[in-house]
Amino acid sequence: MKNILSFFALAFLLSCNLSKDIEIDLPEYDRQPVVECYLEPGKPFRLLMTRSYAFFDTLGLSSNFLQNTLLDSALVTISYNGQTDTLKNQFVPVLNPVKFFNYVGDNLVPATPGTEFVLNIRLAEGGEITATTTMLPKVAIDSIVVEFSAELDTLARMLTYITDDQNQENFYRRLLNYSSLDSFPDQDFLVTDRFSQTALIAFGTGYELAEGDTVFNTIYHVTRDYYDFAESVQLAVSGNLNPFAQPSPIKSNVRGSANPIGIFTPLVYDRDTTIVHK
């Protein structure tokens, strides 16, 4: 065993001594349009369109950062129910939680499940982007139960219940924030209803909540397109943090001659705010 350890120690020292800087000529990166359009019932049609950056590009908050990032001067339309809305090119920030858009419509997104929406974008330089999606029904939070631990009576857990339609495959995103919606979420994950054998689904926490804590429960009912997109983004982030991982492509539902990436999907959710008490 000592001989084996000595061998690995020598090999490690030799590898360190033999290491040297290697220059690699990377191909020039062709920046892509990035489209994010979430159709939130009762809110205006809003879309964010930016340009992607190469992995090693510097993302400094310089005076021309927005100019180099936002993709403006495009013709953006969304068609539904026999009508077409044209989104105005204007920068609009939204607070609580913080979001930014650079294309906004005058009309509100209809909430009727089954409504089909068609996105069409013509870029100033001539490229085109298109996508389709369908409005989903909201899956309501049935109840939220706070249970204090028998052993640690100062700490509690929270159980959030929903009722799933088992006649179809459904996809969900679970988001749990403490104190503020802009806080880093304590839970943020995607799940399908295939993991559940019953219509009643429960999402829980550990015994980590104290008297007076504020908890924001959010259950998103999402499309398969959004599920695949969000999962691929999570895998890409994980891959960037792992030097041995393979690059993970982003699974988009936007298409066209402009070679875009991104997502066009309804944003249907139920949210409940709970203050923990006995």
DSSP states of 116-157 as a string? EEEEEEE-TTS-EEEEEEEPPPP--EEEEEEEE-SSSTTEEE
Whether residues 40 and 105 share a domain: the answer is yes
Which pLDDT belongs to residue 264? 98
Same domain (yes/no): 108, 151: no
Q: How many domains does the chain have?
A: 2
Spell out the alpha helix ranges (H) of 198-245: 224-240
In angstroms, the CA 134 to CA 32 distance is: 25
Predicted local confidence at residue 109, as pLDDT? 97
Residue 21 lies in a domain: no
Pair 249, 262 in one domain: yes
DSSP 8-state symbol, 59: -
Same domain, 204 and 108: no
Question: Is there a single domain that holds both residue 72 and residue 197?
Answer: no
- Report if residue 214 sits inside a domain: yes
Position 165 in a domain? yes
Which pLDDT belongs to residue 189? 93
Q: If you compute the radius of gyration of the chain from its CA atoms, what whole number of angstroms results?
A: 24
- What length is written for the chain? 278
Whether residues 37 and 132 fall in one domain? yes
Distance of CA 52 to the CA centre of its chain: 16
Return the residue matching tokens 């999962």.
231
In order along its 278 residues, the chain shows pLDDT tens digits of: 445 445 445 455 445 555 566 676 667 778 899 999 999 999 999 999 999 988 777 765 555 767 788 999 999 999 999 999 999 999 999 887 788 999 999 999 999 999 999 999 999 999 999 999 999 999 999 999 999 998 888 999 999 999 999 999 999 999 999 988 888 889 999 999 988 889 999 999 999 999 999 999 999 999 999 999 999 998 887 776 676 666 678 999 999 999 999 999 999 999 999 999 98
Residue 125 and residue 243 in one domain: yes
* 77 falls within a domain: yes
Cβ distance 201 to 193 under 8 Å? yes
> What is the domain extent for residue 229?
33-137+225-268
**Are 75 and 44 within one domain?**
yes
How many whole angstroms separate alpha carbon 264 and alpha carbon 23?
A: 39
Is residue 48 domain-shared with residue 133, that is, in the same domain? yes
Q: 146: domain CATH number?
A: 2.60.40
> Are 42 and 162 in the same domain?
no
- Indicate whether 19 belongs to any domain: no
Contact 38, 265 (CB under 8 A): yes
Which of 189, 270, 174, 190 has the alpha carbon at shortest distance from 225? 190
Give the C-alpha separation, 56 to 45, whole Å.
33
Kindly state whether residue 22 falls inside one of the protein's structural domains. no
Alpha helices per DSSP H over the chain: 2-18, 65-69, 224-240
